[in-house]
Amino acid sequence: MDGTADTQDSDWGPFGRPLFDDPSTRHLARVGVVDIGSNSVRLVVFDGAARSPAYFYNEKIMCALGEGVSETGYLNPTGRARALAAMQRFKRLADGMGLPPLTAVATAAMRDSADGAAFAQEIEDETGVKVWIIDGAEEARLSAQGVLLGWPGSYGLVCDIGGSSMELAEISGGTVGKRITSDLGPLKLKALKGGKKARRAAIRTRVAELADYMGPQSNRLFLVGGSWRALARIDMHRQDYPLHVQHEYRMTRRDVTATARYIAEADLEELRLACGLSSARMALVPYAAEVLKELLSVFKPADIALSSYGIREGMLYEQMPQRLRDRDPLIEACRFAEAKDARLPGFGKTLYSFVEPLFKSAKPERKRVIRAACLLHDVSWRAHPDYRADICFDNATRANLGGLRHSERVYLGLALMYRYRNNPAASPFAGLIDLLPPEARLEAEVLGKAMRFGAMLWMSRDTKIGTLHWAPKKRVLRLSLNPDSWPLYGEVAQARLESLANTLGAELAVRLKT
């Protein structure tokens, strides 16, 4: 079947019609949310593809509102002054960006303190921003929804640790189930009297209570929160891991144990500087590590994944219609990038249809990454030709894309690198490429060279460019070109097709359709 780009009314296949500019979701094109936590106050402005937005603006101010609440019952006065100043700044920024009204929530520190409600009213009086003080169950639900924004349809246990509390929520089939809150926040553990022995006894007791309520949770454990991200950054440092993207970073129980020991034995100031952590965050990491070790010992999850998406993304997810929630965040983000930056928006689907016969046996999860590559194949055309391949790789591996494992990021980046460079042997990204097994590296090279050739047959989004047929057992690659495409099959295009055939170890056959 000929690869043909879609017209406005045609079938978009299993991924559905793009919704980033649909009237029902256009109000999500730029949304500002504020999270007033026990440690920090953060403003995030989401922008772009509604299902997988970019972070247009992201600012955090460490206020330590929850410091001392356990002892005094009141918010930290210094933190309160800093938080109010932060909210005044954030309101001014939101007005300057022309945002709709900010959505602001406050969590454990303000709900636990005697003056939390009064402070929420003061913020509203001073800035006009309404602050919703949410309970622990609601905090757990929103954090779990944030995870679902990045992993639609996922299942497992979401663990969100803040400064003064820790929440657990069960997710399954795209919905949030049981949820519970606890006082296992590092700020409260730090203030607990009795030293390490008392602290560990309290952690064991609390985690046992959480396990009794949540029941068996042996699937994936999703870690949400700044202390978990700091712990993951230290784990990356300990292992000299080459890709410093925390979202979807995986750890094992053995990794966590080794890193907790590494932290306990380290000079914390030296480790903080090496990992680029703030002093306030580093001071809480050892307490968070103790909690995580006990969680893993009790729940025994099958694997552990870091989620950069949490309560703020959950607040965005809350505003989405269900049909948008059901979309693949990777594909939606790539479609948005193509529509915004490609020279011929819509040709990515034509290209996917053209190269797909090379990957007939690929699993659905691989085909979605192949589709993403085709959508992104031309979005970096403005870069200098000498650096375009490297920029493609760098963008793919480090971009804010949801629904991508680290290995898939590298696969996507490598394919796009081959799209622009026939032989990237001198690439500066060798350490990252080593994260892929040899067979995946070869497949990414095939995809990149197929896109590199297919791009030579570009005329318009509705052009029928021809058909590839791949017989892997016979090692024969056939190309059938339409009469309109035949004049495009010049010397450069022939060389690119021959390079693809050589990579496949294939005999090449080319014919003109009549």
Contact 373/380 with Cβ under 8 angstroms?
Answer: no
Say whether 327-461 and 137-312 share the same fold: no
At 514 the pLDDT is: 72
pLDDT at 1: 34
pLDDT in tens, 392-418: 998 888 887 778 899 999 999 999 999
Question: How much of the chain exceeds pLDDT 70, in percent?
Answer: 92
| pLDDT exceeds cutoff 60 at 141 | yes
pLDDT score of 156: 95
Q: Is the pLDDT assigned to residue 499 strictly greater than 70?
A: yes
Q: What is the 3-state secondary structure (H, E, C) of 69-115?
A: HHHHCCCCHHHHHHHHHHHHHHHHHHHHHCCCCCEEEECHHHHHCCC
Q: Which CATH superfamily is domain 327-461 in?
A: Hypothetical protein af1432 (1.10.3210.10)
Q: What pLDDT does 2 receive?
A: 38
Residue pair 231/161 in contact (Cβ under 8 Å)? The answer is: no
Higher pLDDT, 299 or 512: 299
What are 341-368's pLDDT values in tens digits? 999 998 999 999 999 999 999 999 999 9
50 falls in which pLDDT band (50, 70, 90)? low
Task: Give the three-state DSSP class for 469.
Answer: strand
137-312 falls under which CATH superfamily?
A: Exopolyphosphatase. Domain 2 (3.30.420.150)
Each domain of the chain, given as residue ranges in start order, spans 26-134, 137-312, 327-461
Q: Which of 17-31, 51-65, 178-192, 278-292 is predicted least confidently?
A: 17-31
Laid out side by side, the sheet with 467-471 consists of 467-471, 476-481, 507-512
Decide if pLDDT at 8 tops 90.
no
| pLDDT at residue 14 tops 50 | no
Answer yes or no: is pLDDT of 15 > 50: no
Neighbours of 405 (CB within 10 A): 15
Average pLDDT for 365-376: 96
**Count of Cβ atoms closer than 10 Å to residue 505 Cβ:** 9
DSSP for 281-339, written as a single string: HHHHHHHHHHHHHHHHHHH--SEEEE-S--HHHHHHHHTS-HHHHTS-HHHHHHHHHHH
Residue 65 has pLDDT above 60, yes or no: yes
Q: What is the mean pLDDT of the chain?
A: 89
- Rounded to an integer, the average pLDDT of 485-498 is 93
Q: Do residues 377 and 455 touch, judged by C-beta distance below 8 A?
A: yes
Q: Are 165 and 107 in contact (CB under 8 A)?
A: yes
Q: Which pTM was predicted?
A: 0.87
R_g of the chain computed on alpha carbons: 25
- Of 7-11, 122-126, 221-225, the one with minimum mean pLDDT is 7-11
Mean per-residue pLDDT, 317-346 = 88
- Rounded CA-CA distance 328/374 in Å is 16
Residue 11 has pLDDT above 90, yes or no: no
Both tokens of residue 282?
A: 């580093």
Contact 498/449 with Cβ under 8 angstroms? no
3-class secondary structure for 362-391?
CCHHHHHHHHHHHHHCCCCCCCCCCCHHHH
Tokens of 257: 């144990």
Q: What is the pLDDT of residues 419-447, one digit of tens each?
A: 998 876 666 787 889 899 999 999 999 99
pLDDT, mean of residues 291-319: 93
* Helix and strand totals (H; E) in the chain: 21, 14
> Could you report how far apart the first and last alpha carbons of the chain are, in Å?
15
- DSSP character at residue 169: E
Say how many C-beta atoms besides its own lie within 10 A of residue 199's C-beta: 18
Residues above pLDDT 90, as percent of the chain? 70
pLDDT of residue 48: 59
Alpha-carbon gap, residue 244 to 242, rounded angstroms: 6
Residue, of 328 and 400, whose pLDDT is higher? 328
Nearest Cα neighbor of 230 from 252, 254, 260 is 260
pLDDT of residue 483: 86
Orientation angle between helical segments 279-299 and 268-275, nearest 10 degrees: 90
Q: Of 131-140, 459-468, 500-509, which gets the smallest average pLDDT?
A: 459-468
For domain 26-134, is the CATH number 2.60.40.10?
no
pLDDT at 142 (0 to 100): 94
Q: Which comes out higher in pLDDT, residue 176 or 174?
A: 176
Order the strands of the 175-182 sheet from edge to edge. Answer: 175-182, 166-172, 156-161, 220-224, 303-306, 250-251
Query: 27: pLDDT confidence band, cut at 50, 70 and 90?
Result: low
Q: Which residue has the tokens 């949410």?
A: 134
Mean pLDDT, residues 162-178:
93
Bridge partners of 81, per DSSP, are none
pLDDT at residue 19, rounded to an integer: 43
Dist. CA 413–CA 447, nearest whole Å = 11
